[in-house]
Chains A and B, each alone.
Chain A
Amino acid sequence: MAKDMHGSTVEFEHVTRSFGTVKALNSFSLTLNPGELVTLLGPSGCGKTTALRILAGIDRDYSGKVEIDGKSMKNVNASQRNIGMVFQAYSLFPNMTASENVQYGLRVRGVDSAKREKRADELLEMVGLSTQANRRPNQLSGGQQQRVALARALAIEPRVLLLDEPLSALDAQVRTTLRDEIRRLQTRLGITTLFVTHDQEEAMAISDRVGVMNHGNLEQIDIPGNLYNKPKSTFVAGFVGLTNRIPALVESKGEVMVLNQILEISEHSESVKKGEEVRALVRPENISVEKSSSSLASTVITKSFLGPMTRVGIDVGMDELIYAEMSSKEAKKLDTGDSVKLHIAAEAVMVESV
């Protein structure tokens, strides 16, 4: 399996898929470059699985265009597409051993058994399961089952690899190891991959680009850093990373008053009118906290240690706490119950209508 697979180009063009009145995909467009790992990130029900199923050919009841390497997939069956897929739910064939599962795709292609077994051995070794080759799925842990599913998907040397929340049923530690392993394999094999998750940390950690989906649409697709630092909509800003939504008042066309500070309204904000009550989106790391003795001050309510960083929840007399993040060293100076003063360390903030 040392031989490199050639990554394919994948293109969705204005793909729409309706279930009754629900539009699972709504004019969805996306291009994957050869060898790229793109992650679709979005809340439950936003159409991630639907997009994968349409590309895999399992669901062919859509309008719009789906192309692989420039060829329309309109009349190509799932079984002819040569796309590897790892499913959200456990999907190993229960009556077959791990090795037989991996061999399945080769078997239906008529590869002889000696070759098949050799390939299965190589692939199982690649996912670290050589010694479990003769186990049945019910004798494997969840993480092991998903590794076998990955090996099974790779066995057919797919043009494209689709991973539908393959890690969602696993515990935190296995998730992290396995996701790094997936990325390592994917880079090594150079295979175009579409990964789906609703865990933003996972998305950021393994992707070349991340596409944030909302209501069957791609809101924004970008490299992870840009998504976090330059969100193009309030939805993306709210979905990627933790964000405070602080009540604010529009002062003039381009300015807003938040926590007694006047700040610019940044681009990609929702359009708002002067005098409108809105919410400003502020990242916790952009809020600095100072001890204060003023009677108008706010109070520290919670303090959570996150390793190098500490998150502090502050009551400023609104319904919800405002969260600030600082280095844990800095946070040592603060205690719950302390009176504090907040300062937003940013020139511009995004705002959304209430």
Chain B
Amino acid sequence: MRKYSPLTIISFIFAIVFFLSPLIAASEYSFRGLNGVGHSLINYTWIIHQSGFYNNLAVSLRLAFVTVLLVMVLLVPTVVYLHLGGRKWRRVVEFFCLIPIVIPVVSLAIGAQVAMPKWLQSTSYELCFFYVIVAMPYVYRALDIGLQSIPLQTLVEASQSLGASWFTTLRRVILPAIASAMTGALFITIALTLGEYTLASLLHFRTFPTWVTNVSQENILGAVALSVATLVGAWLILLILAFIPKFKRNRKGVLAHG
């Protein structure tokens, strides 16, 4: 048994109280019944029954999907290249990938908007391109760390000397080797896209977050229920993503032995 110092225990308890008490309070509040009397699920069902729930959720999910696709297609080959032949470009790309962090979203929205082609400005998919920019710093970091942790150059050379093309090497060797880093990047991107409010609102697009903000202004309890649900949902997704690789490994192991 490891011994913990009293200070550790106290700060631990403090942290739990500090983080959990608002959560518990919020959850309790969100389960209140009609007009704050008794307990029920009514606040949770309320949001689902608002008109536009499914439509707007679908929009945001589609945007998330396209954003993930774009950011991965853009950054995975780039970062792989930076780790192989293109080492000299690393500084430059790193710099560009950091810019979105220091640029306020407002100026991004207004500045980049004019650069977008007309046909794109008329569809909500335009947001994907903004989301790609916003997600880039985090995705770049995640992938960069993932690639640093494997002997990329040697693996690529081994794969090629065994007869594999570039594409096969990427698909069968590099991507599986950085799967966990990619999962992390994926999660960040999805979370950013599903929760992004400012850009969508500034550019007058209807997405799930803007819709939620609108409807929940009429119902405080509903808004609280929604944030609790969002939090739990995010935790669930995190858990699932964390367990997928293990699950896959176990399944393979069983097959191989059977």
* A contacts, CB < 8 Å to B: 53, 56-58, 77-85, 87, 89-91, 93-97, 99, 104-105, 107-109, 134, 149, 152-153, 156
Contact = CB atoms under 8 A, between A and B. Distances in A.
Contact of B161 (A81, A94, A95): A81
19 contacts: A57-B161, A58-B157, A78-B157, A78-B161, A83-B161, A85-B158, A87-B157, A89-B151, A91-B155, A93-B155, A93-B173, A95-B173, A95-B176, A99-B256, A108-B163, A109-B163, A134-B257, A153-B162, A156-B163
Given A77-B160, A105-B163, A149-B158, 6 more contacts: A56-B161, A87-B158, A94-B177, A104-B162, A104-B172, A107-B172
Contacts of B15: none
A58 B161 contact: yes
Q: Main SS of the interface on chain B? A: helix
A95 B163 contact: no
Contact of B151 (A90, A108, A152): A90
| Across the A-B interface, the 6 shortest Cβ-Cβ residue pairs | A105-B162, A95-B176, A78-B160, A108-B164, A91-B158, A91-B154
B58 interface: no
A93 B253 CA distance: 16
Contacts of B165: 79, 108
Contacts of B164: 79, 104-105, 108
Residue from the set A79, A85, A87 with the largest chain B CB neighbour count within 10 Å: A79
Interface of B: 150-151, 154-155, 157-165, 168, 172-173, 176-177, 179, 253, 256-257
B168 A108 contact: yes
A73 to B, nearest CB: 13
A90 to B, nearest CB: 7
Contacts of B154: 87, 89-91
B256 A134 contact: yes
Contacts of A57: 160-161
A118 B177 CA distance: 25
B88 to A, nearest CB: 13
Contacts of B257: 134
Contact of A97 (B160, B179, B256): B256
B59 to A, nearest CB: 36
Contacts of B177: 93-95
A84 B151 CA distance: 19
